[in-house]
Structure 1
Amino acid sequence: MSRSLAALARRRLVRDRGGLAALAALALTALACLVGPWLTGHAPERIYPDFVRLPPGLAAHPQPDELRPVLDRLAFRMRLAVEAVSEEGGRVRVTFTAPRPIDERALRLLPRSDLFGPPVVLAWDDGGRRLVVEAPVRRLRFLLGTDVLGRDLLTRCLVAGQVSLLIGLTATLVALGVGVAYGAVAGMAGGTADALMMRLVDILYALPFVFFVIMLLVFFPAGLWLVLVAVAAVEWLDMARIVRTQTLSLKSRDFFRAAYALGSRTEAVLVRHAVPNMLGPIIAAATLLVPRVILLESFLSFLGLGAQEPDTSWGVLIAEGSRSLESAPWMLAAPAGFLVVTLVALNRLGDGLADALDPRR
């Protein structure tokens, strides 16, 4: 593609406000997925047993009415009992009791809970069976709520976005490389070679995708790389057909004949004339292929053939949310929202790029 064509395409895309908005939405989503997990204040695998299925909100936890239940659960693990609780100025004062002298080492569970800071012993009474301690309270926020295990859903969605976008982009790049090369060669060759190459595509189309994945699972363990291999092995077929059709239509154009008449080789014609004139349909198909791959990965993960714990993806989170739709609808709404925004932005950006790269304009 010449510089003039690239400049014209860039100018058309800049004038397309919808396309620029979609590009900005995709860039923000990708940036949030890359950087966000380090800014939320929660590790993706961190479990908060005191905040299971917590609804979304801006309030900090634990709230005053949650302090006593949280401390009761911690005291049970320390084999103690809570006699009194009071909070003032971001610090909590707790009185623990036990039937035998209290071992101060049990207080280590307070800071390990991530809800309280290091405790300070204020008083020992009743022969060491009554202990008064004070500790700072750490406030946690769960903007999108928590899941059935008590993990922060925002952090999980951002980490899952890394996996979903990685699979979508990688599989799409493989499909582009293989599909464009295969389809262009088939279209330029024509005749018997073209027929044989497309019959191979038809045979691969006839192979059930799930059966193909199950065959791979017989020899290899389930995981993200297996999803990449399985998706990339079949998604190039549509691209090959699109490129072949475009190549056949371009072969009858006058500028193709003129290029051959001027002594250009087939490889040069493909690179300098065929591919630039097919960029619009190719990019439009590629932007539609990314969400298709993401949805396909979601389907495989729902069947247990995709991402495995501790890895996750938007498909895995949506599958988990669908099982808790009645009791915790935000578990489905949060990952579905990320997925819908990404898919809509990709589709709109694909339309804008197809118009901007159309050589007839």
Structure 2
Amino acid sequence: MSAALAGLARRRLARDRPALAALASLVLIALACLIGPSLTGHPPERIYPDVVRVAPGLAAHPRPDEVRPALQRLAFRMRVSLEEVVQDGDRVRLTLTAQKPIDLRAFRLLPRSGLFGEAAVRERSADGRRLVAEVPIRKRVFLLGTDALGRDLLSRCLAAGQVSLLIGLTAALAALLIGVAYGAVSGMAGGRVDALMMRLLDILYALPFVFFVIMLLVFLRAGLWLVLVAVAAVEWLDMARIVRTQTLSLKGRDFVRAAYALGLSTESVIARHIVPNTLGPIIAAATLLVPRVILLESFLSFLGLGVQEPATSWGVLIAEGSRAIESAPWMLAAPAGFLVVTLVALNRLGDGLGEALDPRL
């Protein structure tokens, strides 16, 4: 693609405001997924057992009515009895009793809960079976709520976005490289070689995707690598047909004949003339390929064949949310929202690039 055509495509794209809005949305989502988990204040894998399935909101937890139940659960794990709880602002004064002397090491459970800080012992009986301690309260805000284990859903969605976008870009890049090489070679070869290569594509098209994934389970464990291999192995087929069609229309042009007359090999003609002149359709198709890959990954993760714990993806979160849709609908709405916005933005950007790079316009 020449510099003049590239500049013309940029000007066309700059006038397409919906495509620019889609591009801005994708940049914001990518930045949020990249740096967001470190800014939320909640590690994605951190479990808060006392705030399970908390609804989205700006309220800080624990609320005043949640302090005593949370402390009672911790006291049970500490094997002590909670006699009195006096809350004063962001601090709470506890009176604990036990049948045996209270081991101070049990107070480590308080900061591990994530809602309370280190305890300071103020009074202790001579036999050690009764003591008074002051504990600071750590306020936590969960903008998108928490899941069934008490993990912050916003942090989980952003961390899942890293995996989903990585799978989408990596598998799409692999499919792009395979499809461009296969389609260019098939189109340039022509004749029986082209017919044989296209029949192989038809065979691969006829193979059901889920059946292919089940076959891969014989060699690979369910997880990230299975998704990458499965998606990259089938998503290059459309790209190969697009590049083959473009190559068939270009190989009879005068500049290709001139390249052969100058003594260039077929490999050089493909690399220096055929592929650069098909970049417009390739870029547009590649942009539309990424959302397809992300959707396939979500489908596999929904079936339990994709990303496995402790890693997560939008597909995994959607599968978890679908099982709790009645009691905690936000567990489904949050990751589904990220996925829908990303897919719509990628598709709209692909349409805009296709229009901007179309030489007929």
Structure-to-structure mapping, 1:49-88, within 5 angstroms: 49-88=49-88
Instruction: Look up the match of 1:257.
Output: 254
Q: Distance in 1 between matches of 2:255 and 2:56?
A: 64
Cα pair 2:250 2:256 within 8 Å, conserved: no
**Amino acid across the alignment from 1:326:** E
Is 1:108–2:105 an aligned residue pair?
A: no
> Secondary structure of the equivalent of 2:118?
coil
Alignment partner, residue 188 of structure 1: 188
Change over 3 Å in CA distance of 1:258–1:89 after alignment to 2: closer
Q: Report the more deviating stretch, 260-269 or 16-25.
A: 260-269
Matches for 1:112-261 after TM superposition, within 5 Å: 112-125=112-125, 127-251=127-251, 256-257=253-254, 259-261=256-258
The code of the aligned residue for 2:355 comes to D
Aligned to 2:307: 307
Residue 206 and residue 125 in structure 1: after superposition, are their counterparts in 2 closer, same or farther (change >3 A)?
same
Structure 2 counterpart of 1:260, one-letter code: R
8 Å CA contact 1:279–1:354 kept in 2: the answer is no
Shift in alpha-carbon separation, 1:261–1:44, aligned structure 2, 3 A: closer
| Separation of aligned partners in 2, 1:314 and 1:235 | 20
Paired letter, 2:181: A
1:316-352 CA-to-partner distances (Å, cap 9, x unmatched) read 1111111111111101100000001100110111111
Amino acid at match of 1:124: R
Post-superposition shift, 1:306?
1.1
* CA distances 1:105-146 after superposition (whole Å, capped 9, x unpaired): 222211221211111111124743221111211111111111
Partner of 1:286: 286
Please give the per-residue CA displacement for 1:243-301, whole angstroms capped at 9, x wherever unaligned: 1122223446xxx1354157364555545554344333222221221111111111211
Q: Provide the secondary structure at the position in 1 that maps to 2:352.
A: helix
Extract unaligned runs of 5+ from structure 2: none
The separation in 1 between residues aligned to 2:11 and 2:166, in whole angstroms, is: 29
Instruction: Give the conservation status (yes or no) of the 8 Å contact 1:124–1:132.
Output: yes
Counterpart amino acid of 1:227? Answer: V
Which residue in the other structure is 1:359 paired with?
A: 359
User: Contact 1:279 / 1:358 at 8 angstroms: preserved in 2?
Assistant: no
Tell me what 1:7 maps to: 7
2:295 maps to what in 1? 295
Task: Provide the rounded CA distance (Å) in 1 between the counterparts of 2:127 and 2:271.
Answer: 88
* C-alpha distance in 2 between matches for 1:150 and 1:22: 33
Work out the CA distance in 1 between the residues paired with 2:268 and 2:344: 37
Cα deviation code 1:23-71 (max 9, x no counterpart): 1111111111111111111122211111111110111100111000000
Q: 1:121 to 1:261 in 2, by over 3 A?
A: closer
Task: Give yes or no for contact 1:280–1:355 (8 Å, CA) kept in 2.
Answer: no
Match of 2:24 in 1: 24
Unaligned 5+ segments in structure 1 are none
Q: Which letter does structure 2 place at the counterpart of 1:120?
A: A
* 1:341 lines up with 2:341 in the alignment: yes
C-alpha distance 19-338 of structure 1, shift in aligned 2 (>3 A): same
What amino acid is the match of 1:44?
P
| Range that drifts further, 231-240 or 14-23 | 14-23
Matched to 2:351, the amino acid is D
Inter-partner Cα distance in structure 2 for 1:7 and 1:258: 22
> Higher mean Cα deviation, 287-296 or 336-345?
287-296
One-letter amino acid of the counterpart of residue 134, structure 1: E
Q: Could you tell which deviates more after superposition, 2-11 or 89-98?
A: 2-11
Equivalents in 1 of 2:287, 2:226: separation in Å? 22
Moved more, 45-54 or 121-130: 121-130
Identity across matched positions, percent:
77
Secondary structure at 1:100 match in 2 = coil
Looking at structure 1, the residues matched to 284 and 180 of structure 2 have their Cα atoms a distance apart, in angstroms, of 13
